[in-house]
Chain A
Amino acid sequence: MKHVITLNVNGDPYTVAVNPSQTLNEVLRENLNLTGVKFGCGEGDCGACTVMVDGRAVSSCLSLAVEMEGKQILTAEGLAPTGETLHPIQEAFIEKGAIQCGFCTCGMEMAALNLLTKNPSPTENEIREGIAGNLCRCTGYTKIVEAIGAAGEKMRESSERKTS
């Protein structure tokens, strides 16, 4: 039996009919065409499918869509919703050259967001721990770690501007 649920993705509600066996990854990619959410290993090891659910990074390949009713889902598409200005994490990834083939990037940005919202000034070790669940086979991680550090600085600056 299909379940009719409303998913809140990047601030917009989507009503979809899903089989219980459909993962969040399948529904985001196939029903909503949000292909920034990648499908990698399908087992929660590679992190390419990472999305934020209620402010926490999770593997969309191991989440059932049917369990997502009422939750706030954020994908890489939602980082820069207007498409005019990029999110500080996206800016930093571009500036630091943290993208090569790009397959890991969207998941990596989600893991970075998960880390930086809890810990705005992470050490290098904390950054590496924060992205331990995201595999990159191109960069060797150095540029990604630099980018996340720089993104943290940008986010701190912009929140200081907002509060002052």
Chain B
Amino acid sequence: MKRLSYFEYRVPKTVEEAIELFESGGADARLMAGGTDLLMKMKHGAMTPKILISLKKIDGLDTIAFSEKTGLTIGATALLADVASHPDIVEHYPAVAEAARGTANVQVRNMGTVVGNLCNASPAADNAPTLLAMGATVHIQGAGGKRDLPLEEFFKGPGLTALRGAEMVTSLSVPLPPAGAGAAYLSLSARGKLDCTAVGAAAMVTMKGDVCDDVRLFIASCGPTPLRAPGAEQIMRGKPISDDILEKAGEIATGEASPITDLRASADYRTRIIAVLAGRAIKAASKRALAR
């Protein structure tokens, strides 16, 4: 039976207090939001923090807010389940809601958070690709003050982020999708939706009439971080959505990813499936764009 090793538990009431505790704890301290990833890693001995700083009692940190002017803001402790079912997210950012709903299982969605999913920086993180495609920004706070970073610059490798020292992500924001834009996220894993994603693809497509005016395409779980596929994006721009062009974009996206063989899928399988999912994600996003 796996038990957790002893640690001290701290419950700051404000972000400033959390950062102070985090800074004084140094390498021995970890921040915890939902804890679903962290506690599992601790049970496996992969992480052995001596001080755990829970963010759950910080007032307002679980806020989900939407306005037609500024777009969507998701606080650091907003639960996956709440993001999945939030009426404004379902209406204005359906792909973000779907990605949250497709993460793990009911129990984990009732405990885990979207921001936590990002901060763990798994290349397979289900919430990353859509937020990347939609141009999300993370809001970071540390002892030295606040800074904003495009999510695209946040992931540095498996488990590695751009966070420095005693910094934490306080929230993320997603701009309003441009007029005529739609987004979609598709993923495959060995057994339904429950286990980790073997290949994922998210696209945001902006349509002008029948023509793909712009697209942002990200492939998940096929490299050290979610990867952008700029070549595939470029070939789509200015062209009508057709099976031919989707196939070509898929081929190029395959070349822009770097899949490996692991527990979840072989490199060969991933290589073949990237093209399929990339094409389908672009198509689904364009359909959504045209339906708006």
Contact = CB atoms under 8 A, between A and B. Distances in A.
Given A26-B3, A133-B194, A111 B9 contact: no
Interface residues of A, number: 34
Instruction: Label chain B's interface by main secondary structure.
Output: loop
Contacts of B4: 21-23
A44 B9 contact: no
A42 B1 contact: yes
A56 B40 CA distance: 20
B267 to A, nearest CB: 25
A104 to B, nearest CB: 13
B161 interface: no
B99 to A, nearest CB: 15
A49 B40 CA distance: 15
A102 interface: no
A21 B7 CA distance: 6
A133 B3 contact: no
B3 A21 contact: yes
Interface stretch (B63-71, B104-112, B274-282): B104-112
A31 interface: no
Nearest to B9: A20
B35 to A, nearest CB: 6
Contacts of B104: 44, 133
B167 to A, nearest CB: 23
A59 B9 contact: no
Given A47-B105, A59-B108, A20 B36 contact: no
Interface in B5-59: 5-9, 35-36, 39-40, 43, 52, 54, 56
Nearest to A53: B110
Contacts of A58: 107, 110-111
Interface in B139-194: 192-194
A44 B1 contact: no
Given A67-B54, A132-B194, A42 B2 contact: yes
* Chain B residues touching A, range: 20 to 34
Nearest to B191: A132
Contact of B107 (A26, A39, A57, A67): A57
Interface string B236-279: 00000000000000000000000000000000000000000000
Contact of A20 (B8, B107, B108, B111): B8
A20 B8 CA distance: 6
A133 B106 contact: yes
Contacts of B110: 53, 56-58, 114
Nearest to A59: B107
B13 to A, nearest CB: 14
B81 interface: yes
Contact of B192 (A19, A63, A132): A132
A3 to B, nearest CB: 7
Nearest to A130: B106
20 contacts: A20-B7, A20-B8, A21-B3, A21-B6, A23-B39, A44-B111, A47-B105, A47-B107, A50-B107, A58-B111, A59-B108, A62-B35, A63-B111, A64-B35, A64-B39, A111-B107, A114-B110, A129-B193, A132-B194, A134-B105
Given A21-B6, A64-B9, 10 more contacts: A20-B7, A22-B4, A26-B3, A42-B43, A43-B40, A57-B106, A59-B111, A66-B9, A67-B56, A132-B192
Interface of B: 1-9, 35-36, 39-40, 43, 52, 54, 56, 81, 104-108, 110-111, 192-194
